[in-house]
Amino acid sequence: MSYVEVPGAKVPIRLWTDPSSVEEGAMRQLQNVSTLPWIKGLAVMPDVHYGKGATVGSVIAMQGAVCPAAVGVDIGCGMSAVRTSLTANDLPGDLSRLRSKIEQAIPVGRGMHRDPVDPRRLHGYPTSGWDDFWQRFDGVAQSVRFRHERAEKQMGTLGSGNHFVEFCLDETGAVWLMLHSGSRNIGKELAEYHIGEAQKLPHNQGLIDRDLAVFVADTPQMAAYRNDLFWAQEYAKHNRSIMMALFQDVVRREFKKAKVTFDPVISCHHNYVAEERYEGMDLLVTRKGAIRAGSGEYGIIPGSMGTGSYIVKGLGNEAAFNSASHGAGRRMSRSAAKRRFSTKDLEQQTQGVECRKDSGVVDEIPGAYKPIEKVIDQQRDLVEVVAKLKQVICVKG
């Protein structure tokens, strides 16, 4: 489908979904964002749903300003995926050992590495700029500086919620490795700190929603936020890269005889800010639950822990600010999912997948998410499908 424009908005709000399918609270958030004086347009993805301040699944283009809540509290959250030389025929009948080895290599939930991961010990990991990256930690917000040791030990860890590590098969039978994570606790703390700082500024008093507080260009507060934001985005990228290297090492050890090789890794943020130019304007584009889908750019759009995911290539649609959805998107809250579904439902909906099937992950049940096939179909003018993947192992945070 092409987009539908919301009538009566102060700036263009373009929806790549049926307006009637957008929950009332999310539509109100979109209208609220459109009233900000710095806004130049919104592109709304088919996985849109209610969030903090700004909806998840929205792309917001602003001139001379940025809204931290429109980035999301997990700064730099995103996906990585790589195709391997393994095929379905190489996999053992019982995948529980492989899942266990992945969980041993990559801490999940609130877990962290006992000692920081040394990237020089990872097979082929590029270490250029690693020391400089950590030296720049001294320049981030004072409120989180003392957490340096924790940030180092959480590098290369999964986290919780909807984050995951997966073993997948594409339609040709090729094995893919895929994972989803962000900037861990340090990114969350930086985001919450700066949202609080923005809310104190005089120009943000009287906003229709205090969570839409912005930083404006050429101010010390904006400079401080940009510094911390871009550092956290880099942390998230390193975090996924370290995890993928750990994941690949597990695969090399477990399939030693196969001498596994890996294609180049596909990686993309879906909670971040980028400086981009549209219609002759230099804009700050925030993608909160959206990926960049410029012409020919590869991206990853995951479904749920039982339905599968898509590798896509962007079509460069400027009406959507060169963007696409970041996943299936939730159709109910975590608490609603826990009320509605049982562990028996989870077992049925994840049949054939080696994964947790206990009450701790019922809120991640496939039924709590929108149908990924429909989400993909609604953005055929934003991306083309390169590969459809189905997980056989899913490690949840």
Distances in whole angstroms, Cα of residue 219 to Cα of each of 71, 200, 201, 265: 19, 14, 11, 37
Count of CB atoms situated within 10 Å of the CB of 279? 9
Choose, from 194, 269, 270, 326, the residue flagged as catalytic. 326
The CA radius of gyration of the chain, in Å to the nearest whole number, is 21
Q: What share of the chain is helix, strand, coil (3-state, %, to 5)?
A: 40, 25, 35
Contact call for residues 108 and 397 (beta carbons, < 8 A): yes
Three-state DSSP at 344 gives helix
* Distance (Å, whole) CA 397 – CA 395: 7
Query: Structure tokens of 45?
Result: 């993805």
Count of CB atoms situated within 10 Å of the CB of 204? 16
* Distance (Å, whole) CA 309 – CA 278: 30
Q: Residue holding tokens 């956290």?
A: 232
User: Angle between the 220-254 and 184-200 helix axes, to the nearest 10 degrees?
Assistant: 170
Contact call for residues 273 and 71 (beta carbons, < 8 A): yes
Q: How many residues does the chain have?
A: 397
In 3D space, the residue among 128, 167, 137, 304 whose CA is nearest the CA of residue 228 turns out to be 137
3-state secondary structure 125-157: CCCCCHHHHHHHHHHCCHHHHHHHHHHHHHCCC
Three-state DSSP at 287 gives strand
Q: Residue holding tokens 């700050």?
A: 284
Q: Which amino acid is residue 216, in one-letter code?
A: V
Query: Structure tokens of 139?
Result: 């320049």
Is 326 an active-site residue? Answer: yes
Catalytic residue numbers?
A: 326
